[in-house]
Amino acid sequence: MYEYIHLKQTYAQLAHRHRCSLKTIQRRLKQASLHRPPPPHPVANIIMDTTYFGRAFGVMVFMNSLNGQVLHKQYVAKESTVLYEQGLKAILNKGIAIQSITADGFKGLSTLYPDIPFQLCQFHQQQTVRRYLTRRPKSDAGRELKELADSLFGYSKADFERELFLWHARHRDYLNELSYSIDGHQKWYTHKRLRSAYHSLRRNLSYLFTYQQHQELMIPNTTNRLEGKFGELKTKIRCHAGMSMESKRLFIDNFFGV
């Protein structure tokens, strides 16, 4: 199983190496026992996210950023607050103390667990702003706001909030410009995407700098470590084209060890 997953050996390569048939290799892999990781650390900073293989098959993963160990995973069709809550409960039921949560959304969990600091992934916030403004905004207001978001990692909460306030003061009139229908009966904000980018930063401000407010906990400010693990998983799965759903689940189970 180790050769199949981590050394990217195909069925044919394994059959040749071990001098047996392809069916024998497939049978042995299915019968292989799940590789179990060492006992989990009693305290965890949770990074959680979901990666997808097609439209309706995803794996939701909960990692301890303190040591990189995956504590829990579950297969989902679509991520939701309820499913993330189930995963967190499963970790707590193992006797593990969760001292922080880092995610790319689902801020409602901070209400369900008010005593656990919640950090919103700063990298995903930057991506959200870029999605609204594009990589090359045409307006001065858009360029300034994108530049501010791109510099998110270098700010304290107080400094970022001040800069965002000053940006809004400079561009308030532009932000509130209206467009009208030909008959004048309908109106709408002219710069909707700029407004969406700004309001996204305003709404999320309370969760973007949690890691700075609890420096002793060593909270990660992005989900990048888990994203890297997802990238590694998908690279290895691509080496085994045509894998059945059953085989893919077996592969993922052994890759994460849970």
Better pLDDT: 127 or 250: 127
CA distances from 32 to 29, 84, 250 (A): 5, 29, 9
Residue 113, domain extent: 39-117+217-242
Residues 232 and 105 in one domain: yes
pLDDT exceeds cutoff 60 at 25: no
Report if residue 21 sits inside a domain.
no
Report if residue 15 sits inside a domain.
no
Residues 138 and 208 in one domain: yes
Of the pLDDT bands very low, low, confident and very high (cuts 50, 70, 90), residue 9 is low
* pLDDT attached to residue 52: 95
Report if residue 6 sits inside a domain.
no
**How far is the C-alpha of 61 from the C-alpha of 244, rounded, in Å?**
21
Residues 191 and 128 in one domain: yes
Of the pLDDT bands very low, low, confident and very high (cuts 50, 70, 90), residue 1 is very low
Angle between helices 157-175 and 192-208 (to 10 degrees): 160
Residues 45 and 89 in one domain: yes
**How far is the C-alpha of 191 from the C-alpha of 233, rounded, in Å?**
40
Residues 208 and 224 in one domain: no
Residues 110 and 224 in one domain: yes
Beta bridge partners of 52: 58
Beta bridge partners of 180: 187
* pLDDT attached to residue 28: 61
pLDDT exceeds cutoff 90 at 221: yes
**How far is the C-alpha of 33 from the C-alpha of 22, rounded, in Å?**
19
**Exposed/middle/buried for residue 204 (C-beta within 10 Å: 0-12, 13-18, 19+):** middle
Instruction: Express as a percent the part of the chain with pLDDT over 90.
Output: 72
Residue 72's CATH number: 3.30.420.10
